[in-house]
Amino acid sequence: MEGAHENPAECSSSAPSSEEPAGSARGPEVLPREESEGCARPLDAAPKKLCGYLSKFGGKGPIRGWKSRWFFYDEKKCHLYYSRTAQDANPLDSIDLSSAVFDCKADAEEGTFEIKTPSRVITLKAATKQVMLYWLQQLQTKRWEFHSSPPAPPAAP
């Protein structure tokens, strides 16, 4: 699966994230630039990757709650994948952003936003409002770039 084997070391240092384990009780936090340099690439290497930890609301029945998840964006498919940790080889699931709507309710807990797709609604929470706004802006930009880019040429037989 493309994008499933992303290396967290390829992430942009400008993406607010933390290297916190998934079972942690605290939410994600923004690392100062100097502490997140391990998540940086040379400026001329490739486009910045969008990835980092967010809390995802989910579960079944009475066992619903927030769980820390590692999110990373696949620009070829316009999908946001997530896994338990940055080291996981296979993602738990993905969110098709090509026709998604992003929502941030005024009365919601700080840092909380929703991604609404035709098939489901995903509730996510960032550590701060600033981190939430960063993710919303990046996701909308990535979706716009996906729809604005020319289609890939067909593969040769």
pLDDT at 83: 97
Decide: 56 and 82 in contact? Cβ < 8 Å.
yes
Distance (Å) of CA 109 to CA 115, 128, 138: 15, 10, 21
pLDDT of residue 29 exceeding 60: no
DSSP-derived 3-state class of residue 65: strand
pLDDT(34) > 80: no
Torsional class of 116: left (φ above 0), alpha (ψ -120 to 50), beta (otherwise):
beta
Is the predicted pLDDT of residue 110 greater than 50, yes or no? yes
Asked if pLDDT for residue 42 goes beyond 60, the answer is no
Q: Is the pLDDT of residue 154 over 50?
A: yes
Domains of the chain: 51-148 (2.30.29.30)
Q: Which of 5-19, 50-64, 129-143 has the lowest mean pLDDT?
A: 5-19
pLDDT (average), residues 34-61: 67
pLDDT for residue 49: 87
Q: What is the pLDDT of residue 152?
A: 65
CA quadruple 48, 135, 124, 109: dihedral sign: positive
Q: Report helix, strand or coil for 1.
A: coil
Confidence of residue 46 (pLDDT cuts 50, 70, 90): low
CA 17 – CA 10 distance, rounded (Å): 13
Look up the pTM and report it: 0.69
